[in-house]
Amino acid sequence: MKKLIKNGLCAAGLSAFLAMTPVASLASGHGHGHEHGHGVEAVKAMTPAEAMKTIIEGNNKFKAEHDSHHFDAFQNGQVPNITFITCSDSRVHTHLFGMEPDNSLFVIRNVGNQIGNSEGSVDYGVHHLPTKILMVLGHSSCGAIKAAMGDYSKETPGIKKELEPLKPVLAHDDGQGSFKERWAKNVELNADYQVNYSLNLYKDQVESGDLVVVGAVYDFNNNYGKGRGTLVITNINGETDVDKIIEHPVLHELSKGEIVTHVGSLSPAVEW
């Protein structure tokens, strides 16, 4: 763990880490009869030419802010600290950790942050890099969860194929509360499910202490009452009891206040 901290996860980011148009049905729940998850459109859609101009100008700015020596450490290989799997949603990006992601995060993205849909990529991060933490990060208003909660039979074969593995998650939807409340709980349940899936794949590494699997939710809706933009840890190695998570050794480099601020739960414990 101390090696992990020296490499920059906690010192450069664990405190901070704890402290393009989407598909219509996944993004807004179109056709499900529920309110849009993304709220009012805040940014006018760009034309293709405008989008390319933004990308190139952004890269020019990045190059201006990072001289050639920025790339010295990873010219010939990568040594990230975390294998990080999250949703493809455009509202979820590595800047939420408040650290330079280059050579620190091995990032995998897919609809609904599902291990099974990107298992080979996760295997690479865990077995070959290898990282010490595998983090599964769900997020507020996840369109994949919302779509899976409704009727997605008219979606494309590709989308249906990626939503089908969420059925075991939603089988544990207790039906209690409003749609928004159920939706928020199901986002957390999905993170828990993906952690459990990972524990089955990487049992030996977890039991030896070489890997810690973390489930979390990036909460920009303040569903957990900890402030918009908070990363909330909901699961460590299959443990979902908040009091027990707070005492987990992987959090011991943090202050009690930081831990309490970044640990929470909306869902009852589930036996997968």
**What digits encode the pLDDT tens for the residues 85-98?**
999 999 999 999 99
- Examine the pLDDT at 1 and tell me if it is beyond 70: no
Alpha helices for the chain (secondary structure H):
2-6, 9, 15-18, 24-28, 48-65, 119-123, 143-149, 157-163, 167-170, 179-201, 203-208, 242-246, 256-261
Q: What is the pLDDT of residue 44?
A: 81
Share of the chain above pLDDT 90, in %: 81
Domain ranges of the chain: 2-44+79-261
**Residue 37 or 176, more confident:** 176
User: Does the pLDDT value for residue 50 go beyond 90?
Assistant: yes
- pLDDT tens, position by position, 2-28: 334 334 444 334 444 444 334 444 544
pLDDT in the model for residue 42: 63
Mean pLDDT over the full length of the chain: 88
Cβ proximity of 248 and 242 under 8 Å: no
For residue 37, name the pLDDT band (cuts at 50, 70, 90).
very low
More confident of the two residues 32 and 80: 80
Q: What is the architecture of the domain spanning 2-44+79-261?
A: 3-Layer(aba) Sandwich (3.40)
